[in-house]
Amino acid sequence: MKRRTFVGGFLAVAGLAATGCSTGEGVDLSGGQADFGNPTTGPVLRVAIGGEPDQLDPHSSSAYFTFQVLENIFDTLVQPDENLQMQPSLAESWEISDDQLTYTFTLRQGVSWHDGSPFTAEDVVYSYTRLIDEELSNAYKLAAVSEVTAPDDHTVVITVSQPTPSLLTNLGGFKGLAIVQRNNVESGQIANTPIGTGPFYLAEYASGDRITLRGNADYWGEPVTLGSVEISFISEPSTALAALRSGEIDWTDVVPPQTVEELRRDESLVLESLQSTDYWYLALNLKKDPWSDVRVRQAIAYAIDRPSILQAVAYGTAVENQLAIPETSPWYTPYDTYRLDLDRARELLAEAGFSGAPMELLATSEYPETVVAAQVIAANLAPLGITVQISQPDFSTWLDEQNQGNFDLLMMGWLGNIDPDDYYYSQHHSEGGSNAQGYSNPEVDELLDAGQVEVDVEARKELYARAATIIADECSYIYLYNPSVVQTWLPEVSGYTARADGAIRFGPVTLQES
């Protein structure tokens, strides 16, 4: 997970977001509350998400549950619209130099922080400098940045060391690169009482129970009509759905996948289900024998029954995919090499001299789909003489085990991806920060390096298509599927839009009071 090894990433999974997302480094959030801000008046939107933030500093977290909250508190310089194209946010316009090395942003005027202090270009310089100098968890997104300056209060100039076609996506793709306030950081309060420029500000945090966001009457964007958003943490999908049906909450994304078809027919609720930008995968530990032999990895890929896994974990709401990028993306590459074929699997194992071995599959109880999928995979691999032992630690332990290489096979996901670099570089480049499986191929490295600087879209697409195909052929990851974003709410809620990147934005929402 990493950013997004969520499942993850990022988001970690259904949130890890994550990101790739991870649970990050936890912070004591109890008692967090703020009395700053100019509140709106209006109804309370009651929301349930699947878990609790680890902290509220966007530069230090990589947890999906954290970013579900921060999406409504912080702003970025640019931000993706519903089609995942970058649009103005705190920057109202920008220019890129002919040599693609200088980005000049003109900032929106009249923006203030939640505590009433003015937002200026120095805040942008401080935010990016902090990420880079302190090597925080999302600093890799700024690896090509060589200088950030503020010629005046409303202009920011970013200089990059090489053409970087993913820069705008990196700056706005998720709130890990949010613009933060220096005083809030240096006081240490950002971890539990963040000050942003977004449509809501934190009013109260009751650890283990809920977080309350108050509407920001001074928000620079579309006026907020909600008085507040009360976010509860409900990990059990059936409990969340029951709360929605009883009217205890108004919105949730904690939905039992087996109920999706039923919910489509339920006129008392609104259901949105759309293809996400996330993906789920298997990774074998290439640093350990016999998994270091590509023929053994390919044999496992031929033994995996993807349709059975999809049915078990997603009940038809996910789409099988053998590469990372979903078919809905302009960067999609067709690929369908691996189909269930035990005869081919046995041939490959015989060529590799493999006669059977036990395997530990690292899943995690915090993402139940990994455990369910692991049970299917164990049954799939038994005919090959592979006895699968399923390990189910909590997610923080899962991350430690992954990072220390204590696994044979693991399952996880990455979420919130937009640019093709998000899907492949960190995970499969020899020097990638999330290459826990230990994959290394000089040709793939060269292709991924070239993809980071190629500004011609078609040429760039060819680079990533070639890299992705090699990665799949050599089973650096064994890709399984792209899940869907599934969210449901009461008809009294209007103005909300489900998004492929999983970001939940309540700023435009209105609520009809009963």
Q: What tokens does 205 get?
A: 């945090």
Q: What pLDDT digit, counting tens, does each position of 466-501 carry? A: 999 999 999 999 999 999 999 999 999 999 999 999
Q: Among 9-23, 59-73, 264-278, 391-405, name the most confident range.
A: 264-278
Among left, alpha and beta (phi > 0; psi -120 to 50; other), residue 48 is: beta
Considering only residues 365 and 106, tell me which one the structure prediction assigns the higher pLDDT: 106
Contact 213, 71 (CB under 8 A): no
Q: What pLDDT digit, counting tens, does each position of 108-165 carry? A: 999 999 999 999 999 999 999 999 999 887 888 899 999 999 999 999 999 999 999 9
Contact 322, 472 (CB under 8 A): yes
Considering only residues 6 and 216, tell me which one the structure prediction assigns the higher pLDDT: 216
Q: Domain 32-252+490-511 falls in which CATH fold?
A: D-Maltodextrin-Binding Protein; domain 2 (3.40.190)
Closest CA to 436 of 290, 284, 278: 284
**pTM of the entire structure?**
0.86
Q: What pLDDT digit, counting tens, does each position of 346-399 carry? A: 999 999 999 888 999 999 877 888 999 999 999 999 999 999 999 999 877 888
- What is the rounded average pLDDT of the residues 437-456? 96
Gap between the Cα atoms of 2 and 364, Å rounded: 16
Q: What pLDDT digit, counting tens, does each position of 236-266 carry? A: 889 999 999 999 999 999 999 889 999 999 9
Gap between the Cα atoms of 8 and 20, Å rounded: 2
According to the CATH classification, is domain 279-484 in 3.40.640.10?
no
Domain boundaries, the chain: 32-252+490-511, 279-484
**What is the model's pLDDT at position 211?**
95
**What is the model's pLDDT at position 55?**
84
Please tell me what DSSP assigns to residue 176: G
Of the chain, the percentage scoring pLDDT greater than 70 comes to 93
Contact 482, 279 (CB under 8 A): yes
Whether 35 has a pLDDT exceeding 80, the answer reads: no
Whether 26 has a pLDDT exceeding 80, the answer reads: no
Q: What tokens does 421 get?
A: 């670099």
Gap between the Cα atoms of 316 and 496, Å rounded: 24
Whether 14 has a pLDDT exceeding 50, the answer reads: no
